[in-house]
A and B are shown apart, each in its own frame.
Chain A
């Protein structure tokens, strides 16, 4: 016991120092900045108390960004995991499933710059999608206009993220021994029943982790919004397409003085929301672990 105690500090301290210096201190500093008006190093910092937060609560644009972020987390999440579960039902015994999995995963690998370029080519008023619609006698749509762009971004997000979760969940499903399914088939279980009673319970842990990963990631969604809107320019994405992270970027990087106080306040609010959502997600996904004996 004595030796343990002696070794405790020398081993812990370097990590603790690095962690405090590079993470805890900057985080606390960020919280401090959220109570000030500040344009960055070199400029004067003025105390504002809760004014940054109050201004955000009154700001309609921030409200839109906030709602959009939530919709992405929840609707996007539902679609992604819906597709993931569906592919687990369909793909499990399919021949060439490794290939299909690779294809589904591919969008994850494509650079967001390339996606941005492709979006213009596909979804512009004179783009490929509208051209096909016109050939088939349907009306072309203003995909990237203020009314539809957000839905297109959610679609793009689902397209680019689903592969990751399919890969994650399928690898967990692959670990389930084949004889369990053989038994189920013998007693006449349908594919859906096999999924419901075997695959899902036995991969639930991985799903719980995936759900948390998705929630954390979705609250930081940024680059895909730019890819669908103003990529290649210094312009701010249109309001209907903005997320919290995009709004944060705009107040720091857009025209005029950076407003780090407001950006930090957005960060603190996101942090709080993330914490609440993670607790909720963990609650919803909490089950007793199922183990094969």
Chain B
């Protein structure tokens, strides 16, 4: 028995030693950041510079690691257990999860903080749609550095000024392209959330925020005429033979790369497209975009990428100080000039190929979040809606069947959920 006690005691001491590690407090300010960007990505280089400057000017000890998309899988669990970095990367789509897990706290104090040397507050440099896309039910959730949106992309060297204003004009362009022996649209059809860009952009573009998300909430919403109308437009695309052969069997990124090579005229995609296909672009290719001619409210998608403060981290105040520091124009400009993205600050011009998107975002009277936040009910979205949309876009079902099935399955989902 005495030996048993000894064994237990050793075990207990071991556990106590494990727990001890975190209790040490140091006098010097410190700040840690674990990034989902890979070290070689331009964003990582920009962020590294900001941290280096921050360390130099404030004497803070910074610990910055770039682990990439796949190195951060357990981040939420780590942060919830009180480990994890002070700052981390996040996007519009993650706000609800982070809020539910109480990993992000209130940021209103930060909104009114001055950006060093500019005489402006955080709130003043971030346009309203950008702040909205970075907010959850408790207000601002994180500080965005990049705006993302969706558009139809084309080569302005081939089709200068292409910007159809109505659905008819859009279809006329597709028909003309087909008649000239070209393939109008390249689509990576194995990616369901790229296939849904058509239905989503048309429906939410015309009917505004909430018009897609509401389909998950009540089967009766499927009866609204706008749903059938949008489905008929997608059916028209499917039946028109505008996509490349066997597009539903095309593995990403073959279609977008072929588009960049000039094999197809159009590709509907996010604002990340241009930097993804950069190495594949045919000589003289001038990337440009137009908004899906949805008509109606002409709502524009605004999503953001940014830095969040770990509410359970040890250095919340320093992390917020860093965020105000990072929003300085000289840094935010680099997200446009070096990372070739649209910076979150309204006063930083976007790269030339994204000027159309930035203009649309800043001039938008109505905006909506990426995918209208319809993915929040993930079973509905991933198991029901996206597969149903795949069948519509691939021509397996028509618009009427799409609406009928959607209504029926939403009712089933809500009953068993």
Contacts and interface: CB of A to CB of B under 8 A. Distances in A.
Interface of A: 6, 9-10, 13-14, 17, 39-43, 54-55, 58-61, 119-120, 123-126, 140, 142-146, 148-149, 229-230, 232-236, 238-239, 250-251, 253-259, 262
Interface stretch (B116-124, B325-333, B375-383): B375-383
A255 B416 contact: no
Chain A interface mostly helix, strand, loop or mixed?
A: loop
Which one of A13, A125, A253 has the greatest number of beta carbons of chain B within 10 Å? A125
B97 interface: yes
Contacts of A251: 378-379
Contact of A10 (B4, B250, B376, B387): B4
A59 B383 CA distance: 9
Interface string B360-389: 000000000001000111110111101100
B111 to A, nearest CB: 24
Nearest to B3: A10
A165 to B, nearest CB: 28
Contacts of B379: 59, 251, 259, 262
26 contacts: A9-B3, A9-B4, A10-B3, A13-B7, A40-B80, A41-B81, A42-B100, A42-B101, A54-B416, A55-B416, A61-B384, A61-B387, A119-B251, A146-B390, A229-B190, A235-B190, A235-B193, A239-B387, A250-B382, A253-B73, A255-B93, A255-B382, A257-B96, A258-B97, A259-B378, A259-B379
B404 interface: no
Chain B interface mostly helix, strand, loop or mixed?
A: helix
Given A39-B100, A124-B251, A125-B244, 6 more contacts: A41-B77, A55-B416, A236-B192, A257-B97, A259-B378, A262-B379
Nearest to B415: A58
A234 B390 CA distance: 17
A239 B103 CA distance: 32
A197 to B, nearest CB: 47
Contact of A230 (B93, B101, B191, B384): B191
A148 B191 contact: no
Given A43-B102, A235-B193, A61 B383 contact: yes
B378 A230 contact: no
Contacts of B245: 125, 140
Interface string B227-269: 0000000000000000011111111111000100000000000
